[in-house]
Structure 1
Amino acid sequence: MALENLENGPRLLASEVVQEIVRRIVRDTSKMAVSFTPELDVRPDLLGNFVGGDSYWSPQGEPVTSASGDPLYPLMQIRCSEPSLPGYPTRGLLQFFIGTDVSYGRDLSADYESEADNDNRCVRYIPEVPSVLSGGEIVRLPHIGTDSALDLRTPFKSNFYGCALRPTLIEDPVSHECDEFEPAYESVIAEFDPAVIEAAEAAVGDLEQAVMDELNAVSPGSWFQMGGHPVFTQSDVREDYDDELVLLKMDSYDDVLMWGDSGCANFLIRREDLEQLDFSHVLYTWDCL
């Protein structure tokens, strides 16, 4: 819809204004991302894309542990070539591991420097992936929830044993939970005649809320995602969102996992670290309702 139509059409419906604002926000803020859809009936490929489970591939069969030597549990694995995402690794594996305490390895006081301590979470990059899985390099762990003697916790449902993930390239616009939303909204609003915005506001009551609702409706939606924008349940934790990229976003998924009360987890990395393929300073955080 052309701008002049918006400004000169006296009977323009408020819903059309909302839709045009959203179209422009999507135009201005969309970023490439890989969306991962759980295939619940497909067993994990330990050299491919998968989420959860009790086993993972590790060179020389060495398990991933915390700084204190406790085992970390596999959260998700991404095979970076399927498909590749501009600006991100185009080969190898990204493996995400978390602790089994009540906070799933989250440290509220952590920053990008302290994450390198690997105390209770870890992101590991393996640039070379074999073509054949070696049985001697498979690390097996006890299943969470089946052994009452083990006080282990993860966000996964106790009857979930992992599954494959189907990757798809998407365009991901900003969500209203991110700090980028407000300046994007204000910038787009400034493109309209004030009278049009005033009339739309009068018609819908709360124009910004109507825009947020429509933006949620048109966004592609992604349970698990690399790239694009993060999602926060409570507030944006980033200090400089121009220089921090989404290595992994994981939303709660009823049949797979639950971050507290319908929360969401983010693994964020500084642009300079990603360019150097340095994953020792990834910030891991999650929040819930």
Structure 2
Amino acid sequence: MKQNLELPESFEKYRAVLQETLKECVHIHTEKASTGTFDSKFGGSPYFPKEETYPVDEKDKPMRLLAQINFEQVPQLKNYPETGILQFYLSPFDGYFGCSFGRSIEQKNYRVIFFDKIERDEAKLLSDFSFTRTEEGLFPLKGEGKLTFTKGTQIITANDFRFEPLLGLEDKYELEEDLEEYFEMFDSFSHVIGGYPDFVQDDPRENRHPEHTELLLQIDSDNTVDIMWGDCGMANFFISLEDLKKKDFSKVLYNWDCS
């Protein structure tokens, strides 16, 4: 993939290696709106066949939909599904929004579900989700938003755990002011599928799950649809390339952080 990159002056010596990290991604745009059954969305009611078992947390309490991605509505990305509906659920009864902060990929208080084939007969789908709505617990999303998508490209972000070894750095902060410029130019604090993640704190994959190289979904704090991760943080869902190609979403790593 060829693209002329504008780089901070001190990064010119890394141009060739940074050029090699260029990847396509899909940027997600939010609109506060009611959504339909098959829409890509944050919050709202999910697409869910009656014959399937609705996800519950480790206390057998129903989880709540965080995000739904209908890949028929998403620009095609290499290795990502071209069709089907991918969903992300969190437990509202866990004090950390269902997250173990990189320690585990066991989906106890969060769940990622993929429906490869979409049932179009709405009579065969759940329509009443009142059993998931409760005033108890915590949830990072208060509103409901419809999603639209545009395709873009990214180079590796400075907070990605592969950044320092790729550039042969012991500590990226030795770059000082130039690193700040790099952050300003290439940070990905946004909603995105694919490409590279960003973090308020540190990349949780480095010491525990380095094989989870692919960004399945990143959700930033967003006033438009009332998403807030702690004090204005962000969340990431990662998957290995092998599992992504197989459409196996049983070992997705989920993390969120804030300042």
TM-score range, shorter-chain basis? 0.7 to 0.9
Within the candidate set 238, 243, 247, 1:277 is matched to 247
In structure 2, the gaps of 5 or more residues are 1-6
Which entry has the higher C-alpha Rg, 1 or 2? 1
What is the aligned length? 244
Letter in 2 for 1:261: D
SS of 1:138's partner is coil
For residue 24 of structure 1, report the CA deviation from its aligned partner. Answer: 5.5
Which is further off, 75-84 or 97-106? 75-84
Q: Which residue of 1 aligns with 2:3?
A: none
For residue 108 of structure 1, report the CA deviation from its aligned partner. Answer: 3.7
Q: Which residue of 1 aligns with 2:26?
A: 34
Which is further off, 95-104 or 251-260? 251-260
Q: Partners in 1 of 2:254 and 2:130 — Cα distance?
A: 22
Within the candidate set 106, 120, 137, 1:152 is matched to 137
In the TM superposition, 1:94-105 aligns within 5 A as 94-100=86-92, 101-105=94-98
> What is the TM-score when the length of structure 1 is the normalising length?
0.74
Q: 1:285 to 1:135 in 2, by over 3 A?
A: same
Q: Which residue of 1 aligns with 2:118?
A: 129
Q: 1:71 to 1:133 in 2, by over 3 A?
A: same
Q: Which residue of 2 aligns with 1:51?
A: 42
CA contact (8 A) 1:267 1:283 kept: yes
Q: Partners in 2 of 1:213 and 1:276 — Cα distance?
A: 38
Task: Give the superposed CA RMSD.
Answer: 2.8
Letter in 2 for 1:99: S
Do residues 217 (structure 1) and 172 (structure 2) align?
A: no
Q: 1:109 to 1:214 in 2, by over 3 A?
A: closer
Do residues 183 (structure 1) and 170 (structure 2) align?
A: no
For residue 171 of structure 1, report the CA deviation from its aligned partner. Answer: 0.7
CA contact (8 A) 1:22 1:215 kept: no
For residue 102 of structure 1, report the CA deviation from its aligned partner. Answer: 1.6
Letter in 2 for 1:89: P
Letter in 1 for 2:197: P
CA contact (8 A) 1:32 1:227 kept: yes
Q: Which structure's residues are more often helix, by fraction? A: 1
SS of 2:9's partner is helix
Q: Which residue of 1 aligns with 2:214?
A: 245
Q: Partners in 2 of 1:134 and 1:220 — Cα distance?
A: 44
Within the candidate set 145, 151, 160, 1:169 is matched to 151
For residue 18 of structure 1, report the CA deviation from its aligned partner. Answer: 4.2
Q: Partners in 1 of 2:8 and 2:14 — Cα distance?
A: 10
Alignment deviations for residues 209-264 of structure 1 (CA, whole Å, 9 cap, x no partner): 33333223333845211111122221111135465211111121233211112211
Q: Partners in 2 of 1:87 and 1:16 — Cα distance?
A: 31
Do residues 72 (structure 1) and 63 (structure 2) align?
A: yes
Q: Partners in 2 of 1:154 and 1:20 — Cα distance?
A: 43
SS of 1:86's partner is coil
Letter in 1 for 2:162: E
CA contact (8 A) 2:23 2:153 kept: yes
For residue 20 of structure 1, report the CA deviation from its aligned partner. Answer: 4.1
Do residues 140 (structure 1) and 129 (structure 2) align?
A: yes
Q: Partners in 2 of 1:107 and 1:175 — Cα distance?
A: 24
Within the candidate set 206, 213, 230, 2:197 is matched to 230
CA contact (8 A) 1:47 1:133 kept: no
Q: 1:134 to 1:209 in 2, by over 3 A?
A: farther
> What is the TM-score when the length of structure 2 is the normalising length?
0.82
Q: Partners in 2 of 1:258 and 1:98 — Cα distance?
A: 14
Q: Which residue of 2 aligns with 1:258?
A: 228
Alignment deviations for residues 100-129 of structure 1 (CA, whole Å, 9 cap, x no partner): 1220101247423xx1xx321100000112
Identity over the aligned pairs, expressed in percent? 28
For residue 27 of structure 1, report the CA deviation from its aligned partner. Answer: 2.1
Letter in 2 for 1:151: E
In structure 1, the gaps of 5 or more residues are 1-14, 188-205
